[in-house]
Copies of this chain bind each other. A is one copy, B any other.
Amino acid sequence: MANGGAPVTMSDVARLAGVSTATVSRVVNGRYGVSASTIEQVRSAIEQLGYESSLVATSLRRSRTNVLGLVTHSFQSYTAEVLKGVMDALSQSGFDLIIYANSDLYGTYSEGWEQRHLARLAGTLTDGCIVVTPSGEVRSGTPVVVIDPARGSTVPSVTADNLTGATTVVEHLLGLGHRRIGFIAGRSSLAAAWSREEGYWKALAEAGVPVDPELIARGDFNPESAAPLARALLDRADRPTAIFAASDGMALKTLEVAKDLGLSVPGDLSVVGFDNIPESALAEPGLTTVDQSMYWLGYEAARMLKSLVRGNWEGPSQIVLPTRLVVRGSTAAPRTP
């Protein structure tokens, strides 16, 4: 065992075993050309010193590191879901995962954060990267898979079928008899936000229901951004009978606002979200929403990245996962049709 002093390097092991560092390296990597007795000596020295190869030095020298990277600008509750999916996909694959977060950029939307994070990792440390909800285009010398790409992005990506999902929501509300349906949009730089809004317009258009631009509010997916928007929508004399928020976080915030205003859900107001985060199932009433399993987005992104790194990816470079309408207690027919 190492005494907790300075980190033990390969040359420490070599010195103790009486061999060169090259031999130690060969033993560590199981390469051919070392006698059994030498292997034993080196093994013993490694054990004795508690040596572990430095990720940094290894990745600098080697082209392959067997480490994949993930960059994100913040840790929301869905981030944990994504990570679970990623780790499950990577389990026993031989790939480790490094997540990089820059504290100076944290929480802010400074342009180009994804590029800078990527450049610091992708140079040598990682064989490939997953980028979660970038705000712009991403470029890299190593393979990259984007979860929820920016609008117009052409890099390999995994995303939910936001258009169909949003369409289904509005059709569900129309089917219940709603005609005045409010919409709280997400960050417009994300393709996901745009597709969800597109679905809103499309479903209304197909049903021949005119869109009232006054009922469309512009949030940024952040729950806090939704509070004033929901309040403004509900304070209107001709308030909508239903509100469709582009994320569960914003929808749950809308539920709170409705409760504060003394409105009953779904009696006075129907509310629908998008994402199906765990909290939505447990809300009171349960939130009707669209399931876009963040777990599977993470899982598929990791699976794709693995193959891209290995150079044996056969599937399409842009994966779209199906969504599913989850009807719970927060939607019902409007009281006054």
Q: Is A24 an interface residue (CB 8 A)?
A: no
Considering the chains assembled together, what is the distance between the CA atoms of A336 and B92 in angstroms? 51
Q: Is A52 an interface residue (CB 8 A)?
A: yes
The answer to whether A123 touches B84, judged by C-beta atoms less than 8 angstroms apart, is no
Q: Is A90 an interface residue (CB 8 A)?
A: yes
Which of these, B51, B93, B282, contacts A282 with CB under 8 Å?
B282
Q: Is A98 an interface residue (CB 8 A)?
A: yes
- The contact string, 1 if C-beta is below 8 Å from chain B, for chain A 80-107, is 1001100110111111111111111011
The answer to whether B119 touches A90, judged by C-beta atoms less than 8 angstroms apart, is no
Given contacts A120-B55, A123-B56, contact A102 B96 (CB under 8 A): yes
The segment from A69-77, A127-135, A196-204 that touches chain B is A69-77
User: How many residues in A have their beta carbons less than 8 Å from beta carbons of B?
Assistant: 60
Q: Which residues of B contact A75 (CB under 8 A)?
A: 80, 83-84, 87
Q: Which residues of B contact A7 (CB under 8 A)?
A: 119, 122-124, 141
Q: Which residues of B contact A74 (CB under 8 A)?
A: 87
Q: Is A279 an interface residue (CB 8 A)?
A: yes
Which of these, B52, B106, B119, B283, contacts A116 with CB under 8 Å?
B52
Considering the chains assembled together, what is the distance between the CA atoms of A59 and B4 in angstroms? 20
CB-CB contacts below 8 Å: A42-85 with B: 50-57, 59-60, 74-77, 79-80, 83-84
Q: Which residues of B contact A83 (CB under 8 A)?
A: 75, 79
Given contacts A91-B107, A282-B284, contact A124 B5 (CB under 8 A): no
Q: Can you offer 19 A-B residue contacts whose CB atoms are under 8 A?
A: A50-B119, A52-B123, A53-B120, A56-B56, A56-B125, A57-B60, A60-B60, A75-B80, A75-B87, A76-B80, A77-B77, A80-B80, A87-B103, A88-B106, A90-B103, A91-B103, A94-B103, A95-B103, A96-B104
Known: A87-B103, A284-B284. 10 other contacts (CB 8 A): A7-B122, A50-B119, A52-B115, A54-B120, A54-B124, A56-B124, A87-B106, A97-B102, A98-B101, A278-B279
- Give the 8 A-B residue pairs with the shortest CB-CB distance, closest first: A282-B282, A52-B119, A80-B80, A90-B103, A99-B99, A54-B123, A75-B83, A4-B139
